[in-house]
Amino acid sequence: MVKVVKFGGSSLASAEQFRKVADIIHSDESRRYVVPSAPGKRFSSDTKVTDMLYGCYELAVKGRNFDKEFEAIKERYNSIIDELKIDLDLTEEFNTVKACFIGRAGRDYAASRGEYLNGKVLAAYLGYEFVDPAEIVFFREDGTFDIEPTLAAVSERLKGVERAVIPGFYGSMPNDTIKSFSRGGSDITGSIVAAGVNADLYENWTDVSGFLICDPRIVEDPEPIRTITYKELRELAYMGATVLHEDAIFPVRKAGIPINIKNTNKPGDPGTFIVESTSLKPLYTITGIAGKKGFAVVNIEKDMMNSELGFGRKVLEQFEKNGVSFEHMPSGIDTMSIVVHQNEFGEKEQEILAGIHRNAHPDVIDIETDLSLIAVVGRGMKSERGTAGRIFSALAHAHVNVKMIDQGSSELNIIIGVAERDFERAVSAIYEIFVLQKL
Ligand code: ADP
Ligand code: ASP
Ligand code: MG
């Protein structure tokens, strides 16, 4: 049995957390490959090392002095090393990083050092081999992740390596410069390593007891989801349930490796199993709720739109030409609505509207902003009648006005658009009706 274990930033934020991590690793000898994040927040007003690095690098690029900020980063690592009495001196490493900042080695390089240095500390603490992902995680010229050569390199490099620490979050470009994934990307590295060594399980250790039915920052103490399918998770992750990076699913899914989300602070809790498919019935009609703010809707009306050949294409072409992708497109007989990210759309708004007017000749175009989208996801919804009805009644009771609804053809999710100011209230109302009232 081989397990790949990824520990998130809060799991490695302090010496005390490092001790918990070591206990977890030592308690199961199949936990052979460890993927650490950079030290995260120790308390809610703390700053993640990744953010400290970005800040420092910004000063370096502006040619400003960043000694004080850099010292604070060194202190984060040194306090862990000192408190745990690890036989490791990072002075040389710090000097190299600082010199590279001055030499403008790039923002991705800067951010990646959080994981790199933490990997050094953890490897020394555990007595495991350190493997730099720059040697085995590859990006293409255009910056996209290159999975095939990566999996081959991971497999080759770790063959015969009994135990290793492989930092998360970054890899290298064809020209050998460092490239990092988007924020939260250590989850992807964990998944890549799991697929590369053909692990039996990918354990993702964080600060919550699994994937919760909804965001704990919105509903107090929501229940964890015991088992969720990759498809459900992808919907939720995409819509902002950021406990696992949305791209972390692909490598393990392809290899049929389940993911178990676990809590470093409560290792005895079962956490959430993420699987390809399951015969386990979900406890509730819905599996989870997630949502995001920051959307705009372009509502287009034209009489007889439904019979006008190519109308939709002419409209969508304008978005494509301007590099704006759309999220959803609910439509009626004479109306269509295009939901877009407000910040992307804002920059190109006038070009797109002019293009639609010129090419599609609509009767009315109207824009609504400050919309949030909520995804209600669940494999159990298909077999239950009236799910949408219950959602609406819950929202009506909570005095939330529904601006849009879109049900995916898979019947796995229902997307609801509400004003941003109603967002939290809407999520709580949906949680209440399906979970607390078990309707
Ligand atoms: P890590 O640093 O371990 O990678 P993250 O901060 O990336 O952890 O993800 C865990 C956090 O995700 C939780 O502390 C929680 O605040 C947030 N979160 C948002 N939605 C959910 C959800 N549905 N279930 C669990 N956690 C969620
Ligand atoms: N340290 C990186 C971040 O803060 C990557 C990660 O934590 O997964 O985004
Ligand atoms: Mg994370």
Give pLDDT tens digits for 214-270.
999 999 999 999 999 999 998 998 898 889 998 999 999 989 999 999 999 999 999
Residue nearest to atom 2 of ligand 2 (CA): 184
Q: Does domain 3-200 correspond to CATH entry 3.40.1160.10?
A: yes
The per-residue pLDDT for range 92-115, each reduced to its tens digit, is 999 999 999 999 999 999 999 999
Q: Which ligand is nearest to the CA of 207?
A: 1
263 in ligand 1 pocket by Cβ < 6 Å?
Answer: no
**d(CA 244, ligand 1 centre) in Å:** 7
pLDDT at 439 over 70: no
User: What is the residue whose two structure tokens read 């040619």?
Assistant: 63
Q: Which ligand is nearest to the CA of 189?
A: 2
pLDDT at 141 over 90: yes
* pLDDT for the residue 246: 85
User: What whole-number distance in Å separates Cα of residue 245 and Cα of residue 254?
Assistant: 16
Count CB atoms within 10 A of the CB of residue 255. 16
What share of the chain has pLDDT > 70, as a percent?
A: 100
pTM of the model: 0.87
228 in ligand 1 pocket by Cβ < 6 Å?
Answer: no
Tell me the CATH number of domain 288-436, given options 2.60.120.380, 3.40.50.10490, 3.50.50.60, 3.30.2130.10: 3.30.2130.10
User: What distance lies between CA 216 and its chain's CA centroid?
Assistant: 16
206 in ligand 2 pocket by Cβ < 6 Å?
Answer: no
pLDDT at 331 over 90: no
Q: Write out the DSSP string of 125-177.
A: HHTPEE--GGGT-BB-TTS-B-HHHHHHHHHHHHTT--SEE--SSEEE-TTS-
What are the start and end residues of each CATH 3.30.2130.10 domain in the chain?
288-436
Which residue, among 352, 365, 369, has the nearest Cα to 305 in the 3D structure? 365
Residue nearest to atom 6 of ligand 1 (CA): 243
- The kind and range of the H/E element at 345 are helix 342-360
What are the start and end residues of each CATH 3.40.1160.10 domain in the chain?
3-200
Of the pLDDT bands very low, low, confident and very high (cuts 50, 70, 90), residue 332 is: confident
190 in ligand 2 pocket by Cβ < 6 Å?
Answer: no
Q: Which of 6, 50, 232, 242 to mutate to test the pocket of ligand 1 (most atoms within 8 A of CB)?
A: 242
pLDDT at 199 over 80: yes
